[in-house]
Amino acid sequence: MIPPDHPRYRSLVARERIARCAREGIVSLEGIAAHGRGEAFDYLLGERTSESALLAEKTAAAFLITAKNPVISVNGNTAALAAGLIRDLQQASSASVEVNLFHRTEERMTLITGLLEDHGVRVLSGTFERLLPLSHDRAWCLRQGIYESDVILVPLEDGDRCEALRSMGKTVITIDLNPLSRTSRTASLTIVDELTRALPQITRACGEIPGEQATKFIRECDNTRFLKSALRVMEGNLAHALD
């Protein structure tokens, strides 16, 4: 049992959940490594949502609420850390939720779908087809879901699929603590923030942004500016780390 007054409580709870879900087969072993990389970047960010990340979160909400067919693509780590937060965002944005995995097995698909549904997420189902221009298993998706989406939120993405989705003309929003990853640099919009801090902010903004303001957020979206702001926050924290 992790004591709530432990200075690293949130991080330890997240690790415990990732470890438990890995033992249950929801998170892949590679997913544990990806989580560790995220933690390292979060340390540099000061484990806080920066002002520019908050603006990116509002911009993400603007894209989702004005989309024709918004989809949230969920992998094992996202389901493990944030199943309830995905339900809240689905309710606020009316987005479809589809499970899409790099390390895809029927067993993991069933486990992750079950975990999401237990938290009240409506998970898209149907016949999966190899529809994305990718040689690995993330190519499998649903025609009425990811394939036909115009705006897709892909938390904790990998660079290949991000590029493939962009090449199909989609608006790709990612949540990635690493502003240097290929995903971050390829996405239409990158939120450099921790998944469980970012999702509630996007959900809140979905309910608060009026239509005309959404258009303004979208018009002014500049991914490179968001990435540079995140790097500046990290540089500043490093420069003053031992002051």
Task: Say whether 162 sits in a helix, a strand or coil.
Answer: helix
- Residue closer to ligand ATP (CB basis): 34 or 233: 34
| Least distance in angstroms from the C-beta of 148 to ligand ATP | 24
Would you tell me how many other CB atoms lie within 10 Å of the CB of residue 158? 19
Alpha-carbon gap, residue 153 to 170, rounded angstroms: 10
Q: Is 177 in the site for ligand ATP (CB under 6 A)?
A: yes
Q: Is 35 in the site for ligand ATP (CB under 6 A)?
A: yes
Q: How far is CA 143 from CA 85, 95, 139, 196, in A?
A: 25, 15, 11, 29
Stretch that binds ligand ATP, among 3-11, 29-37, 126-134, 208-216 (CB under 6 A): 29-37
Residue with nearest beta carbon to ligand ATP: 38
Q: Is 158 in the site for ligand ATP (CB under 6 A)?
A: yes
| Least distance in angstroms from the C-beta of 37 to ligand ATP | 4
Q: Where would I find the H helices in the chain?
A: 9-24, 29-45, 51-66, 76-93, 106-118, 159-167, 182-186, 195-208, 211-219, 223-239
Torsion of CA 210, 212, 214, 217, to 10 degrees: -130
Q: Is 178 in the site for ligand ATP (CB under 6 A)?
A: yes
Q: Is 100 in the site for ligand ATP (CB under 6 A)?
A: no
Alpha-carbon gap, residue 184 to 229, rounded angstroms: 13
Q: Is 181 in the site for ligand ATP (CB under 6 A)?
A: yes
- Out of 26, 28, 41, 83, point to the residue binding ligand ATP (CB under 6 A): 41
Alpha-carbon gap, residue 229 to 235, rounded angstroms: 10
Q: Is 176 in the site for ligand ATP (CB under 6 A)?
A: yes
Q: Is 73 in the site for ligand ATP (CB under 6 A)?
A: no
Torsion sign, CA atoms 15, 32, 197, 108? negative
Stretch that binds ligand ATP, among 37-45, 66-74, 132-140, 222-230 (CB under 6 A): 37-45
Q: Which amino acid is at 141?
A: C
Q: Which amino acid is at 65?
A: I
Q: Is 163 in the site for ligand ATP (CB under 6 A)?
A: no
Q: Is 200 in the site for ligand ATP (CB under 6 A)?
A: no
Q: Is 76 in the site for ligand ATP (CB under 6 A)?
A: no
Number of residues that bind ligand ATP (CB under 6 A): 18
Task: Say whether 67 sits in a helix, a strand or coil.
Answer: coil
- Out of 21, 38, 111, 142, point to the residue binding ligand ATP (CB under 6 A): 38
Binding site for ligand ATP (CB under 6 A): 34-35, 37-38, 41, 81, 156, 158-159, 175-178, 181-183, 194-195
